[in-house]
Amino acid sequence: MRGDKKTKLLAKQLFKLSLVNGEVSAAQVAGVLGYIEKIQPRQTLALLKLYHRAIAAEVAKSRALIEHAGPIGDSALKLVESAMTQKYHRAVTASAQRNDALFAGLRVRVGSDVYESTVAGQLAALAASL
C-alpha cells in the first residue's frame, strides 16, 4: 500500500525521531510504535510500511552482511567490520551468512552497496561480457 503525501511526511518525521546521534535507537523505535498504536493515524498500514522501509534502509547502512561459500573466521569478520567502519565513517557491525551458490569468495553488502569478490560474480561478469 502506498501512502499519500501526509502519510509519507509523517513517516519521515517518525523516522527522524527514531534516530539518536545519527543511528537508529531501539528505545526510540519502541516509543514511535507505541505512539502509532495509541493514536491510530490514517492509513496506519501504509505508515508502518513506509516507516519500516526507512528504518530497514538505515539499519542496513550500519550492517555488513557477509555472504560466503567456504569457511570464514572471526578475524575475517573483524577485518571487514573495521574496513567498512572506516569507509562509511560510522560503526558497522558484520554478520555472516552461508551461500553455497557463490562457489568461493565473499560478497559483502552494506546498505545498497555490494562488494563482490566471488567466483559466481566473476562468472556472471564473464557471461555478460561475451
Partner 1 sequence: MSTVIEQIEQQIAQLSNKAVKKNTGHILTVADGVAKLDGLSDVMYNEMVQFPGGAIGIALNLEEDEVGCVILGDVSNLKEGDEVQTTGKLLSVPVGKALLGRVVDALGRPVDGKGPIDSKEFYPVEKIAPGIIVRKSVSQPLFTGIMAIDSMIPIGRGQRELIIGDRGTGKTTICIDTIINQGRINKVGLASGDKNFRPVYSIYVAIGQKQSNIVRTISALEAAGALEFTVIVAAPAADNPANQYIAPYSGASIGEWFMENGMDALIVYDDLSKHAVAYRQISLILKRPSGREAYPGDVFYLHSRLLERAARLDGKGSLTALPIVETLAGDVSAYIPTNIISITDGQIFLETDLFNQGIRPAVSVGLSVSRVGSSAQIKATKQVGGKLKGELAQFRELAAFAQFGSDLDAKTKAQLDRGSRIVELFKQPQLNPIAIELQVSVLWALQKEYFSSVEVKQVVGAAASLRDYLATRKDALLTKIRTKAALDAALDAELKTACDEWKGTFAAK
**Contacts to partner 1 by CB under 8 A:** 53-54, 57, 106, 108-109, 111-117, 121-122, 125
As a whole number of angstroms, the longest Cα–Cα distance in the chain is 58
Torsion of CA 12, 91, 26, 57, to 10 degrees: 40
Q: Which is nearer to partner 1, 33 or 83 (CB)?
A: 83
Beta carbon nearer to partner 1, 37 or 95? 95
Query: By C-beta, is 2 or 38 nearer to partner 1?
Result: 2
Minimum distance between the CB of residue 117 and partner 1, rounded to whole angstroms? 4
Q: Give the shortest CB-66-to-partner 1 separation in angstroms.
A: 12
Minimum CB–partner distance for residue 13 and partner 1 (Å): 13
Residues in the chain: 130
Judge whether 65 and 104 are in contact, CB under 8 Å.
Answer: no
Rounded-to-integer distance, Cα 120 and Cα 104, Å? 7
Please, what is the minimum distance in Å from the beta carbon of residue 115 to partner 1? 5
Residue among 22 and 34 whose Cβ is closer to partner 1: 22
CA distance 127 to 55: 36
Please provide residue 57's backbone torsions phi and psi, each rounded to the nearest 5 degrees: -65, -40
